[in-house]
Structure 1
Amino acid sequence: MKWFLTIFILFSGWVLSQPLAEMRGIKLTNVDSNVMFSDGGIARAMDFLAETGINTVLCVVWNSNGADGDYTLYPSAVMDQYFGKSIHPAFSGRDALQRVLIEAHRNGIEVLPWFEMGFSTSYSQNGGHILQKYPDWALKDSNGNLIVKNGFDWMSAINPEVRDFILALTREVAENYDIDGVEYSDRIPAMPVEGGYDSVTVAIYRSEHNGQNPPADFRDANWMRWRADKLSKFYQMAHDTIKSVAAHLKVASSPSVFPWSYQEYLQDPKSWMEDGIAEEVIPQLYRYSLSDYVFTLDNSLANYPNHRDVYFAGMLIRLGNYVIDPGYLLSAMAANRQRNVPGEIFFFYEGLRANNDRLADTLKATFYAEPAVSPGHGNNIWRPKATILNEDEPGVSLSGDWQTETGIDGFRPGVLLTNSSNYAAIEYKMDVPFAAWFDVYPYVVSGPLAAKQARHVVYHNGDSTEIVVDQTAFSER
């Protein structure tokens, strides 16, 4: 049995004119949300976000599993090399990042992988499996204890082995996936100010200070600056790693609010922007009242006078049982625009779905009523929505014996199938408006009675490429 439904083409890496450029982003995580745990959930979520007016998704790729610490949420050869475990256990057998990319790009949404846990290895798990295998990676205080701050266990961002590991993960994502950039957050690069007394960090400090030990006072100004500069140097390495893969990839930072970020986590986003290390800054302006939000916004903006065009507000719309009031949200967004802040990124997806999509409906009726393209790329469309060609439209021809099956959910819905042993094919033709690289996706509904060797032939530039798909395999959907 052969099943086919429809085909869509993604216009990859092409720019088309678009009048309004405004960041409308959302963070998508595996915590307190079921979206990433199924392909169907991801597809529905991306459709919903596109309808809401969202143009950028920050998709978590590095997070704790709640049992023994951090894993990637995509199949990682780097993780397998270091730990013999290639993926978060709950995502085994799937590639959630690849599915997010397919469904988001189909909807014209850009995707930036988000390394949420950063240099934290676990949450209150004594470092988890990472520090169990590599105890020398642990970040220590002056008494030799593992640094645990606000429940998060930490490894040293100054340790060269730790840096190499995180850089390898970053390069892996940039090289293996058709992403639009990389987002580092409040734990990367970062180091709790109490840390830096592990043997590796101390040895590096001594080598640069004529054998002297670091100051016992972890808030010593020079000691803080030395560690912060090491973090900035790491970020420069990450920037160069990302850009070496593709110059168009965005390097985004979502730090805590400066100067608190520096005082507590040695993050210096002000310098990152001034030195061109980060290209976009998304301070986490997470406040529970409008007055606190506006106060924090004004103080934060003062630190980035030359980067207002790439300053986007990080806004908290849900955390635990808290969901932002629509009136507060609209007033805060109005404050952003009054200060020429060109958009925002919300934490997190489920806030839009709470109370029967109340916040999403509010956005669609107000600030997001007009479509907008994500800033960057000359403020042109970088990810046009896919052109979808259904089997009952002009340009599609059928050969052989095909029947319509309406009992199987598909894209229309409904699918075409054939039980014939004779030749049967569906041919899709569409006009290609320009020369570029294109992604071509046939929508295939998998099932045990489907064809194990379904031939797909793509004709291009007078040549053709053939792919054989096992339609019985769920992973091929």
Structure 2
Amino acid sequence: MPAAAPPAPRFRRRRTQTLVAVVVSLAVAVALGAWSLHGRVAGGGALEQGDVAASGTPICAGRPARAPRELRGMWITTVNNIDWPSRPGLPAEKVRAEFRSWLDLAVRRNHNAVFVHVRPSGDALWPSRYAPWSQWLTGSRDGRDPGWDPMEFMVAEAHARNLEFHAWFNPYRGGQPATVGGPGPRLDQLAPTHPLRRHPDWVVTYPSADRPGSRLYFNPGVPEARKFVEDSMLEAVQRYDVDGVHFDDFFYPYPEAGQDFPDGAAFARYGRGFADKADWRRDNVNTLVREMSERIKAIKPWVKFGISPFGIWRNKRTDPAGSATAGLQSYDDIYADTRLWVREQWLDYVVPQLYWHIGFGKADYAKLLPWWAATVRGTRVQLYIGQADYRVGERGAWRDPAELDRQLALNQRHGVNGSVHFSAKQVRADKLGAVSRYSEAHYVGPALVPTMAQLPAAPPAAPEVTDVRRADGGVVLTWRGKGAASFAVYRVDAEVARLIGSARGGGWVDRAAPAGRSLSYCVSGLDRSGNEGRLSTPVSVAA
């Protein structure tokens, strides 16, 4: 047993006593503060709502509140019934049930947006003054009314799950083969109300690459046809609460060997002094994009406008400003000057379809990605990437279930704002477990959509949480909030308050709430453009 230590010198004893007194005082202050905090929360009084750390990070119950900002979506394709409806002519309730299941899949995968094909081929999935009902819904080209409004239903169901709804249009397609091996439609086979039957001078027929027969197109070179196509799409913007207007890469058709797009008569009449037909065609598409951008914002300034182009603008061997690729060039082959649309900032977002693997010789994902990141740099246009989930399981690199995982990791390194996956059926199929793999690595929790500085901003006031309690399904929170389009829910987890969910209404259930400890929550409101207001006063629930 060691000898007793000698007594501390007097100055050490005084210092020890002083330190003890300070510690006791601090403990009392903290306890009183905690009691005061509890009393004010329980009594409904206001704290300094939405406290913000010096770094600008909002604070919830003394912890920094963090929410990832990333667009995560999938395309839901209606043409040829690729995704939905599963086949044409189904009963309405079956069609609705299938659509709900796609949205539930999006929620399970922690997506926050869906891109739904609502004008696949000169038709419409809503009662339109400009276009007949889609055959992919009704099972018939005669334009018969299905007796309900799918667009109204789809937008409401998406918003009920706090998913953005981007209405996806093919502007110039007017009719196409309906079945494998079937011929392309003739004008007299279109619905009696189809605009191309009333305006045969707008029609161009061109072979179909993916199916036997030909497709019918609205001629992009005819100004009246372009205006009609714009009006038909803007009808949906005016009538429905869509969050975005979305095009893919179908403007002029992809070229077929030995076949020129037969628009010589339109060029002769509407050439506007262009000496080169290719430049004229590009200008036709540029005009559509610019006018749609202007007209959407004039109707609803908060609606986003985005395009998902073919992944190559031009090859570097053709143009020094192009990418280190050797594939089809959208600028030259389909007359889509995608780089111009970004530089002119006619778009809010661009989603290049980078459907090639890392290391592919003609179009290397790892080389195209930084080219697109550089293209949007310095603009307000956000970059999302179109991911090729449909290629998983193909020969070569796509046999590796980690390919998409690696691509999403590259996206993060290059500051990409999000991804859209093609298509819903492939997300559900989860071939080789690839979807589960990248979801666990990159979509482990929910995310808020990125904000856009060019959209209207009105961050709402802090909500008031009116109740928090444990129930069989988890922890139930309810709140009141004014001026918010949606709400974000945070739960304190160790040293951070993490985003755990979002909702459009006044309540949410934390079904993953741990049972063995007390929990603290905060709620914030977001405006229509995703701008977040101050956090609510924190609330707690016992273990």
How far the C-alpha of 1:75 sits from its partner, in A, is 2.0
Residue-by-residue CA offset, 1:5-43 (whole Å, 9 max, x unaligned)? xxxxxxxxxxx9963211111101122224576212222
Specify the SS of the correspondent of 1:147.
Answer: strand
Specify the SS of the correspondent of 2:376.
Answer: coil
Q: Partner residue of 1:407? A: none
- In the aligned structure 1, how far is the partner of 2:150 from the partner of 2:237? 15
- In the aligned structure 1, how far is the partner of 2:237 from the partner of 2:459? 17
Counterparts of residues 195-234 of structure 1 (less than 5 Å): 195=261, 197-205=263-271, 208-209=272-273, 222-234=276-288
The one-letter code sitting in structure 2 at the alignment partner of 1:150 is A
Q: Which has the larger radius of gyration?
A: 2
Call closer, same or farther: CA 1:356–1:331 in 2, change over 3 Å. Answer: closer
Q: Partner residue of 2:378? A: 306
Moved over 6 A (4+): 379-384, 437-441
Call closer, same or farther: CA 1:160–1:191 in 2, change over 3 Å. Answer: farther
Residue-by-residue CA offset, 1:152-188 (whole Å, 9 max, x unaligned)? 4433112122212211122111011111010011014
Specify the SS of the correspondent of 2:402.
Answer: helix
- In the aligned structure 1, how far is the partner of 2:425 from the partner of 2:345? 33
Structure 1 residues 277-286 or 37-46, which shifts more? 37-46
Counterparts of residues 384-463 of structure 1 (less than 5 Å): 432-435=480-483
Residue-by-residue CA offset, 1:117-153 (whole Å, 9 max, x unaligned)? 33122335156525454321123xxxxxx33352544
Q: Partner residue of 1:447? A: none
Call closer, same or farther: CA 1:367–1:436 in 2, change over 3 Å. Answer: closer
Segments of 5+ residues of structure 1 without an aligned counterpart are: 1-15, 65-69, 80-84, 140-145, 216-221, 388-392, 395-411, 413-429, 442-477
The one-letter code sitting in structure 2 at the alignment partner of 1:278 is L
Corresponding residue to 1:54 among 106, 111, 120: 111
Call closer, same or farther: CA 1:357–1:109 in 2, change over 3 Å. Answer: farther
Q: How many residues align?
A: 356
Looking at both structures, which has the greater relative contact order when contacts are Cα pairs under 8 Å and sequence separation is at least 6? 1
Q: Partner residue of 2:336? A: 267
How far the C-alpha of 1:246 sits from its partner, in A, is 0.7
Q: Partner residue of 2:45? A: none
Q: Partner residue of 1:464? A: none
- In the aligned structure 2, how far is the partner of 1:251 from the partner of 1:437? 19
Counterparts of residues 27-106 of structure 1 (less than 5 Å): 27-30=75-78, 31-34=81-84, 38-64=95-121, 70-79=122-131, 85-88=132-135, 90-91=137-138, 92-106=146-160
Call closer, same or farther: CA 1:359–1:192 in 2, change over 3 Å. Answer: closer
The one-letter code sitting in structure 2 at the alignment partner of 1:318 is Y
Residue-by-residue CA offset, 1:421-473 (whole Å, 9 max, x unaligned)? xxxxxxxxx753224579889xxxxxxxxxxxxxxxxxxxxxxxxxxxxxxxx
How far the C-alpha of 1:335 sits from its partner, in A, is 1.4
Query: What fraction of aligned residue pairs are identical, expressed as a percent?
Result: 21
Corresponding residue to 1:180 among 236, 240, 243: 243
Specify the SS of the correspondent of 2:246.
Answer: strand
Specify the SS of the correspondent of 1:174.
Answer: helix
Call closer, same or farther: CA 1:321–1:99 in 2, change over 3 Å. Answer: farther
Query: Is 1:19 equivalent to 2:88 in the alignment?
Result: no
How far the C-alpha of 1:199 sits from its partner, in A, is 2.3
Segments of 5+ residues of structure 2 without an aligned counterpart are: 1-57, 59-64, 87-93, 139-145, 178-183, 315-328, 487-503, 507-543
Corresponding residue to 1:284 among 329, 343, 353: 353
- In the aligned structure 1, how far is the partner of 2:286 from the partner of 2:424? 30
Residue-by-residue CA offset, 1:320-359 (whole Å, 9 max, x unaligned)? 9859553111011111112221211111011111148934
- In the aligned structure 1, how far is the partner of 2:439 from the partner of 2:420? 15
Corresponding residue to 2:231 among 148, 165, 168: 168
Specify the SS of the correspondent of 1:183.
Answer: strand
Corresponding residue to 1:134 among 196, 199, 219: 199
- In the aligned structure 1, how far is the partner of 2:246 from the partner of 2:289? 11
Residue-by-residue CA offset, 1:406-430 (whole Å, 9 max, x unaligned)? xxxxxx9xxxxxxxxxxxxxxxxx7
Specify the SS of the correspondent of 1:182.
Answer: strand
- In the aligned structure 2, how far is the partner of 1:120 from the partner of 1:320? 28
CA contact (8 A) 1:118 1:187 kept: yes
Call closer, same or farther: CA 1:320–1:287 in 2, change over 3 Å. Answer: closer
Q: Partner residue of 1:241? A: 295
- In the aligned structure 1, how far is the partner of 2:408 from the partner of 2:107? 19
Specify the SS of the correspondent of 2:367.
Answer: helix
- In the aligned structure 2, how far is the partner of 1:307 from the partner of 1:29? 30
CA contact (8 A) 2:293 2:346 kept: yes
Residue-by-residue CA offset, 1:51-92 (whole Å, 9 max, x unaligned)? 21111111100124xxxxx4212221222xxxxx34446242
The one-letter code sitting in structure 1 at the alignment partner of 2:74 is I
Query: Is 1:332 equivalent to 2:407 in the alignment?
Result: yes
The one-letter code sitting in structure 1 at the alignment partner of 2:113 is T
Q: Partner residue of 2:389? A: 317
How far the C-alpha of 1:198 sits from its partner, in A, is 4.0
The one-letter code sitting in structure 2 at the alignment partner of 1:242 is I
Residue-by-residue CA offset, 1:366-390 (whole Å, 9 max, x unaligned)? 1001321112355999999xx9xxx
How far the C-alpha of 1:94 sits from its partner, in A, is 3.3
Normalising by structure 1, report the TM-score: 0.66
CA contact (8 A) 2:246 2:306 kept: yes
Specify the SS of the correspondent of 1:60.
Answer: strand
CA contact (8 A) 1:255 1:282 kept: yes
Structure 1 residues 290-299 or 334-343, which shifts more? 290-299
The one-letter code sitting in structure 2 at the alignment partner of 1:165 is F
- In the aligned structure 1, how far is the partner of 2:402 from the partner of 2:480? 45
Q: Partner residue of 1:376? A: 451
The one-letter code sitting in structure 1 at the alignment partner of 2:108 is E
User: What RMSD in Å do the two structures reach over aligned CA positions?
Assistant: 3.6
Specify the SS of the correspondent of 1:161.
Answer: helix
Call closer, same or farther: CA 1:383–1:120 in 2, change over 3 Å. Answer: farther
CA contact (8 A) 1:318 1:347 kept: yes
